[in-house]
Amino acid sequence: RVRACRWDAAARVWRVETETGATIRARHVIQATGGLHEPNWPDIPGRDGFDGPVLHTARWEQTLTFEDRRVAVIGSAASAV
Q: In sequence order, what are the residues at sequence separation of 6 or more whose Cβ sits closer than 8 angstroms to the Cβ of residue 36?
A: 57, 58, 79
Average pLDDT over residues 2-23: 96
The range of the structural domain enclosing residue 13 comes to 2-59
Q: Is 7 part of a structural domain of the chain?
A: yes
Angstrom distance (rounded) from CA 38 to CA 63:
20
Digit-coded pLDDT (tens) for 14-62: 999 999 999 999 999 998 877 667 788 888 899 889 998 888 877 888 8
Residue 27 pLDDT: 97
Q: Is 1 exposed, middle or buried (0-12, 13-18, 19+ CB in 10 A)?
A: exposed
Torsion angle of the four alpha carbons 40, 42, 45, 48, in this order, in degrees rounded to the nearest 10:
-20
Q: Is 24 part of a structural domain of the chain?
A: yes
pTM as predicted: 0.45
Count: domains in the chain: 1
